[in-house]
Amino acid sequence: MWLYTCVVFVCVIYTSGRTVYSNKNSYTRTLFDEKNKDHWKIQAQWTLRAKLSTPQNTKVAKNVILFLGDGMSITTLAATRVYLGGQYGHNGEELKLSFESFPYTGLAKTYCVDHNVADSACSGTAYLSGVKANSGTLGLSGSVKRGDCAGQRDGLHSVTGLMDWAQKAGKSTGIVTTTRVTHASPAAAYAHAADRKWEADADLPTRGLKCEDIASQLVRGRVGSGLNVVFGGGRKNFMPRSEIDSNGNSGYRNDGRNLIREWLVKKESLGIYPKYIYSRKELLNLDNNKYGSVLGLFASDHMSYHLEAGDEEPTLSEMTQKAIEILSQNTKGFVLFVEGGRIDTAHHETKARKALDETAELAKAVEAALRIVDIEETLVVVTSDHSHTMSYSGYSKRGSDILGFANAKYNASDNLPYTILSYANGPGSMSRTNFRHNLMFDNMNDLNYTYPSLVPIPRETHGGEDVAVFAHGPWAHLFSGNYEQNFIPHALAYASCIGPGLTTCKL
């Protein structure tokens, strides 16, 4: 009998009675013969039967969790499977990340109103508010161009979305990210900014314009102040330059305000018992039933890459699990946004090893969530905001190190090796001279190794192709097919009976 299982964020197919368990994280190693034609027939028939037997869940989604792998292209997913397979005794191509086993998959088109390749601000506005916007702008329609402070202030072009709709419906709301909580993706959930870079008052232009910065909107804004859980980095944007945090880092604000203290006072004025935390130990020891709202700022800037993090910072899985435990106390349900944000920053640096590892961390967080929610009443969607320029090429044999060299049989015309993973542009360019250097002399095991790129620029760019959307739970079938990225929050709202548009409760 053929079975399908997800063990520690990777799924495998195996036959009962022929399964061996490795001694690393309980991974399952399969003992099938891919050279046998019956293997592929049985596997395909199993997939067919699984799809035919999957019922459509049309219950109201009490809870919604939107997972976002920032910059998580389809190429990144494929490479991550092989990356994980190599670590645990598989080839890797045959595996599935936890969310790749979801019953429904679609493709979202990511372009902005003014650019064909999206950034995280316009895309965040699309998948969180349901309206496409201009590049670099947050929570504003395409009528506002980047840097238009007056357009931000007048409020005519402001748009809200999932968090606002959920709060008005009485649900709890939360944000979890590995970047600064004021960074583009999480900020799109609560802020209105004509420039995504206006994270603190020190980032605002000095031309006499008076626009509210993003960190201030998290504390004082209608939607931002209503969030029940906020976990991530970016502590410096909430502290004045005159103050030093627990790790010896100074604040960044010029206005002298300590927004962390303001947040605590604001919550208390609303009759909510709040808690501010800044370490992994505090997170893990937090009494879930004691506090109505929790702000966790675990780093002065972005949180550390998983491969470099110490014990002071929680993992994405730990933050996700704690957020769900806190938000689940609301009998009306919750909406939670979880971002694996450092996939994107690693790609920008062409540090492929870190990008794949951060993708694996997102898959762990998804599985951690699935272990503690009731999928019959919780809609879980996993997607990305945009792609990157990383390619996966070279005719390598199964079992090859995905972070290593392509098949030597297909070396370039200069007879030098090239890597399986490379970038169309970025800091790892091989085009600075007319001759490539020999990669055999590079230390590719270094965590910070920059993978080769074609065009030399300081920071690799995004890509413009569609991104995958994976869905499980009530009304997950709505996410099949190809659609505009701004469709996502409308479908989430429909399933959970929130927002001003069509919902399953308003039929």
DSSP 253: B
Cβ-Cβ contacts under 8 Å for 272 (sequence gap 6 or more): 292, 293
User: Which of 16, 22, 101, 120 is an active site residue?
Assistant: 120
Q: Give kind and range of the element (H or E) at residue 267.
A: helix 259-269
158 alpha carbon, distance to own chain's centre:
24
Q: Are 360 and 390 in contact (CB under 8 A)?
A: no
**Three state DSSP letters for 76-98:** HHHHHHHHHHHHCCCCCCCCEEH
**What is each CA distance from 21 to 90, 294, 470, in whole angstroms?**
12, 40, 28
As to burial, measured by CB atoms within 10 angstroms (0-12 exposed, 13-18 middle, 19+ buried), residue 181 is buried
- Read off the amino acid at residue 241: R
Q: Are 307 and 185 in contact (CB under 8 A)?
A: no
DSSP state letters, 286-300: --TTT-SEEEEE--S
DSSP state letters, 406-439: PPGGG--TTS---BSEEEEEETTBS-SSSS---G
223 closest CA partner among 153, 158, 272, 271: 158
CA distance 344 to 355: 7
Reply yes or no on whether 120 is catalytic: yes
CA distance 162 to 384: 17
Q: Are 402 and 82 in contact (CB under 8 A)?
A: yes
CA distance 147 to 163: 25
Cβ-Cβ contacts under 8 Å for 258 (sequence gap 6 or more): 238, 239, 240, 243, 251
Q: Are 209 and 353 in contact (CB under 8 A)?
A: no
Residues with a catalytic annotation lie at: 120
